[in-house]
Structure 1
Amino acid sequence: MKHTVVVAESQTLFRDMITNFVEDMDEFRVIGKLTNGQEVIDFIQEKEIRPYLILLDIHMPVMNGLECAKKIKQLYPDIKVVLLSVFDDEESIETILSVSAEGYILKSSGLDEFKEILRFIVDGKFVAPQSLVKYFSHRLEALQKIERESSFHYIKETFNQHQDLNNRELQIIQLIKKGWTNRMIADQLGISEGTVKNYLSIIYKKLGIKSRVELLQLLTELIG
């Protein structure tokens, strides 16, 4: 049994081309060729047909692909949605991920790549351009670096030459590194805001500095 597909693309040339690509595959059968997102919603509701897969151009009139994808996922979460776009910039990528689509295909993709992506999606995989994968790989590395450098162990190792700093003082330095306010630190540690200020005064004295700004500068110099 073939998987049913709806193609939504505002430009006739691309719509026909994508439809031909899909119908050339044994696994799929196109049951609708539409021009905007609202037509997709109407098609599903009026005909009471739930296609297996919907291919949505992001840039369409009336209702664009992102709005349509979001609505489909709210109403029919089991329908697989793949977004089509000519853009692969960071803003587009993050917006696309926010609608929980199963895939993202660049219109510049070749025929073989296009077919392979659809087959991967049928297998339950999320598929995206290499540029997207690289982008989020770099983002993940940066977040992991921030998390590692804000850990208690890392802070303790960084200040290992200051043997007079106790664990509570190192913990406060750790939270300062994360950008927490005195009130946030107090709530986290179950102490008063005044006690936090007292600890900071002791920390400044032990490190030979005079203020929070100097502490942050010191952290920047030691950690980056």
Structure 2
Amino acid sequence: MERCTVVIAESQTLFRDMITSFVEDMDDLRVIGTFKDGQEVLQFINKVEVRPSLVLLDIHMPTMDGLACAKKLREIHPEIKIVLLSAFDDEESIESVLSVAADGYILKSASLDEFKETLHFIINGRFVAPQRLIQTFSRRLTQLIKLEQENSIYYLKEQLHNSQHINKREWDIIQLLKRGWTNRMIAEKLHISEGTVKNYLSIIYKKLEIRNREDLLRMLTDMAN
């Protein structure tokens, strides 16, 4: 079986040597380079014939940190799997990790068995991260799904009491209005005049038994809460 080639970047010599030793103990992995910052990693990868299959990057390094290196690697070598290493799982660290399309995230407090198991999972195509990071991903995904649902025409139709009286054109206008669009923007989008938009809004207000745009936006906001 062909061994997976690995590059390691860690600013602290002792910890870099420890990680290298852990990886080399794994029969299916082979370390082909160790470095103290991300810049050295990029220079190495650009000049060698055998590129790494996996790169382990400490988030906090001088010259070029792990996040900057990961972003660059993702642009020029998207096939390389990237694992970020950090001693922290605070909110700020999690936010920074979310901005990088890494394949995994390992805390330096992980046990040796956890470290090796995580690398195997990542090599086999699974994303692995600490529980707190996974929870943050899950929360963000839930928020995105909720936002998408709330902006859908079907959600609005279900929520408005008099939905059976609103035609498609009126629903289009309500949906654009909910996004904060002006009458002019709505008119340009729907290829109608501003006057026609105002006429439609007057009809919508009458059907929903409200007075103005503010009442409609308040109604939509209340439905989202």
**TM-score interval, smaller chain:** 0.7 to 0.9
Question: In the alignment, what sits opposite 2:103?
Answer: 102
Q: What is the alpha-carbon distance in structure 2 between the residues aligned to residue 45 and residue 168 of structure 1? A: 55
Using the TM superposition, give the Cα deviation of residue 46 of structure 1 relative to its aligned residue in structure 2, in angstroms. 4.1
**Are 2:153 and 2:171, in contact at CA under 8 Å, matched by a contact in 1?**
yes
Q: What is the alpha-carbon distance in structure 1 between the residues aligned to residue 58 and residue 163 of structure 2? A: 59
Question: In the alignment, what sits opposite 2:34?
Answer: 33
Equivalent residues in 2 for 1:191-210, closer than 5 Å:
191-210=192-211
Distance change in 2, residues 1:109/1:145 (3 Å): same
Q: Which runs of 5+ in 1 are unaligned?
A: none
Distance change in 2, residues 1:117/1:214 (3 Å): same
**Are 2:59 and 2:84, in contact at CA under 8 Å, matched by a contact in 1?**
yes
Shift >4 Å, 4+ stretches: none
**Are 2:210 and 2:216, in contact at CA under 8 Å, matched by a contact in 1?**
yes
Q: Which amino acid aligns with 1:220?
A: T
Equivalent residues in 2 for 1:72-151, closer than 5 Å:
72-151=73-152
Using the TM superposition, give the Cα deviation of residue 91 of structure 1 relative to its aligned residue in structure 2, in angstroms. 4.7
State how many pairs are aligned: 224
Matched, 1:5 2:3: no
Using the TM superposition, give the Cα deviation of residue 65 of structure 1 relative to its aligned residue in structure 2, in angstroms. 1.0
Question: In the alignment, what sits opposite 2:183?
Answer: 182
Q: Which runs of 5+ in 2 are unaligned?
A: none
**Are 1:43 and 1:49, in contact at CA under 8 Å, matched by a contact in 2?**
no
**Are 2:82 and 2:104, in contact at CA under 8 Å, matched by a contact in 1?**
yes
Distance change in 2, residues 1:177/1:90 (3 Å): farther
Q: Which amino acid aligns with 1:80?
A: K
56-65 or 12-21, which moves further after superposition? Answer: 12-21
Question: In the alignment, what sits opposite 1:171?
Answer: 172
58-67 or 48-57, which moves further after superposition? Answer: 48-57
How many percent identity over aligned positions? 64
SS of the residue corresponding to residue 62 of structure 1 reads: coil
Q: Which amino acid aligns with 1:53?
A: L
Using the TM superposition, give the Cα deviation of residue 25 of structure 1 relative to its aligned residue in structure 2, in angstroms. 1.2
Using the TM superposition, give the Cα deviation of residue 142 of structure 1 relative to its aligned residue in structure 2, in angstroms. 1.8
Using the TM superposition, give the Cα deviation of residue 28 of structure 1 relative to its aligned residue in structure 2, in angstroms. 1.1
* Structure 1 residues 88-129: Cα deviation after superposition (integer angstroms, max 9, x where no partner): 345544543444322221222221111111101211222222
Q: Which amino acid aligns with 1:168?
A: R
